Amino acid sequence: MSEKISILLAEDHALVRAGFKSIIDAEDGFDVVGEAEDGLECLELVRAKSPKVVLLDLSMPKLSGLNAISHIKKRYGETKVIVLTAAETTNVWNEVLDLGVAGIAMKSISPKELIKGIYSVMDGELFIHSEIQPILEEAAGLNNKRLSVREKQVVKLVAEGYKTKEIAEMLEISDRTVSKHRENLMTKMGATSTAELTNYANETGLTKVRLEEIE
């Protein structure tokens, strides 16, 4: 019998947490190893229980979800974080992707899609809730050629010949997030090759500035 996927629930609303727990408990391959009511308790339980996956609410007392993600990624890099949110804002979604989360889901997600998403992140894939994916894609189209700081950093490093894994390590994000940034950049810029991204970096002077100086 294969080992169950250990899951930590971090959600400050008891009823919402209970709802997600019932979904997870119904799946034979999952095991809830802890429940956190705030960000600090979440970090304590990650340290004590070493869960494979954390289902994390972004809006929590004592320590925000964003800060909790940063701590988890720096100290417990093997733990996968799936963000649970009620906020329909592309800025927030892109921010958590930059932090290297393994997935994003609205709290309205169906049990079937959530279960599938947990298995997919354990297979090393980036999971984006089906309600969120088209909104992110539309936003990328509306913001054509208006690159974020993270996207400029990725373009610079691609132009300098770094591979996806190397870029992920330098920016402290996941390989999958780097790949997603590259895909979004290709769409935004209408580029079809790495050479075109390199040309853009050279023309805009990105290759002449240090990584930390990019704005």
- What's the CATH number where 33 sits? 3.40.50.2300
Q: Which residue has the tokens 């936003």?
A: 139
Q: For the chain, list residues with pLDDT below 50.
A: 1, 142-144
The answer to whether residue 191 sits within a structural domain is: yes
Same domain, 165 and 108: no
Domain closes at, from 129, 151, 172: 129
Q: 24: buried, middle or exposed (CB in 10 Å: 19+, 13-18, 0-12)?
A: buried
CATH code, domain with 162: 1.10.10.10
Give bridge partners of residue 8 from the DSSP assignment.
34, 54
User: Closest Cα to residue 7, out of 104, 82, 68?
Assistant: 82
Residue 163: how many other CB atoms lie within 10 Å: 12
Distance CA 154, CA 199 (A): 14
Domain closes at, from 129, 154, 172: 129
What pLDDT is stored for residue 21 in this prediction? 94
- pLDDT tens digits along 9-55: 999 999 999 999 999 999 999 999 999 999 999 999 999 999 999 99
